[in-house]
Every structure is written in structure tokens, then in C-alpha cells.
């Protein structure tokens, strides 16, 4: 029989003209069903959901550093130094007015007529000093801090007041409300000491207004 004639058997696997068997290049391998509990191919990986951290812990982890209690006290003392000239004028006015005021006995008899001119001068110095302290405080605490988040003292120390949730500087109106809330701190004085052990280093006024004092340098 001639070798050119086709044989009675089909060609072996892998010969040209016939489709390759499973596992050969060009044809996908058979898909096996995924095991129970295993993620599907292409599906997003599942991650465990943890409860959100407390605000203080989140701030410590992601927020800027908080100002220490000592930094805040030092900034306040520096602010008071700016008021020192007006305070001296105020105290001198009280002294001059008192020593030159007329004195009377227990029976209402005038013992010393004093010096009315110097007394009124002392009262004038007292008023100028009081108005000066008020003007300096209003500008420093409301106008300056309401625009920059810093008083003169805070700027010297490198600390700033911002909103705890938004991180923005308080407006003049919010700064005024925060100053009013400080009366709660001064009522028992423990409010000013609260930052010593508070995780967010906040006074009562800070907690009411949701503000924090941060370190910027």
C-alpha cells in the first residue's frame, strides 16, 4: 500500500489542522467552581470594619500637635505685658485719687478737705487706664485673634486657636463667644487647669466652642 494514502486512524493530538486538547495554548483551561468562603476572582477584598477611634485619639494620630498648658499660660502673660502701661496708669490714678480725696470722721465731720484738683486728676488717670486696657484687650483678643487665630502672646509662642472639626480660624463673633465662655473657666478656676489632664488639652470654653489650641512652630 502506498504511504501517500490516508490511514484508517485519525491523526494524533497536536497535529496541524486539528483543535488542541484542553490545557494547550490558545484555549482556556476548564474553570473550577470557587471553594465555599473564598472570594470570587476580581471581587474587592473584604476588610474588617473597626469602630472609629475617639476624637482625642484621632487628633493625636492625624492632627497637628496640641499646645501645652505651659505654652498657653506663657502666651497669656505676654498678652498682659502689652497691657502693662495702661495698668500702671490705672493703678497710679487710683493712688492719686485716694490720697487726695477728702476724709471725714465717724460723725460725718470733714477732717481733711484733701486736694480736689489732684483727686480729679487721679480719677482721670484711672479712667484713661481702664479704657486703655479695654481697647488693647478688644483689639488683641477679638480683632487680631478673630482674623489670625493668634493674639500677640500666642504669636510669640507659636500657638493658634482653631475649630476642632473644621480646622479653620474662628470669626470675630465666635471669638467673642469663646471669651464669654471663659467666665465659666474663671468661676472656679478649675477650667483653666483642665488642659493639664484633658486628652485634647481644652478648657471648658474650648469644649463649649469646640476649639483647640495647636502648636504651629
Say what the pLDDT of residue 38 is. 47
Residue 67: partners with Cβ closer than 8 Å, 6 or more residues away: 157, 159, 201, 213, 214, 215
From the number of C-beta atoms within 10 Å of its C-beta (0-12, 13-18, 19+), residue 183 rates as exposed
Say what the pLDDT of residue 217 is. 74
DSSP-assigned beta bridge partners for residue 103: 112
pLDDT tens string, the chain, 217 residues long: the values are 444 555 555 555 545 555 555 545 555 555 555 545 444 454 444 333 334 445 555 655 567 899 999 999 999 999 999 999 999 999 999 999 999 888 776 666 666 677 889 999 999 999 999 999 999 999 999 999 999 999 999 999 999 999 998 889 999 999 999 999 998 898 878 999 999 999 999 999 999 999 999 999 7
Domain range list for the chain: 64-215
CB 83 within 8 A of CB 136: yes
Amino acid at each position: 500500500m502506498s504511504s501517500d494514502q490516508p490511514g484508517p486512524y485519525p491523526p494524533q493530538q497536536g497535529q496541524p489542522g486539528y483543535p488542541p486538547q484542553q490545557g494547550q495554548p490558545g484555549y482556556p483551561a476548564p474553570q473550577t467552581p470557587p471553594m465555599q468562603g473564598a472570594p470570587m476572582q476580581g471581587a474587592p477584598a473584604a476588610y474588617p470594619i473597626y469602630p472609629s477611634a475617639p476624637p482625642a485619639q484621632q487628633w493625636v494620630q492625624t492632627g497637628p500637635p496640641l499646645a501645652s498648658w505651659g505654652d498657653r499660660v506663657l502666651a497669656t502673660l505676654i498678652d498682659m505685658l502689652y497691657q502693662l502701661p495702661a495698668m500702671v496708669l490705672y493703678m497710679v490714678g487710683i493712688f492719686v485719687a485716694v490720697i487726695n480725696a477728702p476724709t471725714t470722721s465717724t460723725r460725718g465731720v470733714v477732717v481733711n478737705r484733701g486736694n480736689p484738683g489732684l483727686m480729679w486728676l487721679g480719677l482721670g488717670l484711672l479712667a484713661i487706664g481702664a479704657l486703655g486696657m479695654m481697647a488693647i484687650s478688644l483689639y488683641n483678643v477679638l480683632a487680631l485673634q478673630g482674623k489670625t487665630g493668634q493674639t500677640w502672646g500666642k504669636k510669640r509662642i507659636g500657638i493658634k486657636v482653631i475649630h476642632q472639626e473644621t480646622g479653620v480660624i474662628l470669626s470675630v463673633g465666635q471669638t467673642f463667644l469663646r471669651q464669654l465662655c471663659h467666665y465659666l473657666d474663671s468661676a472656679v478656676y478649675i477650667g483653666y487647669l483642665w488642659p493639664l489632664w484633658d486628652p485634647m488639652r481644652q478648657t471648658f470654653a474650648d469644649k463649649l466652642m469646640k476649639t483647640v489650641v495647636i502648636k504651629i512652630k
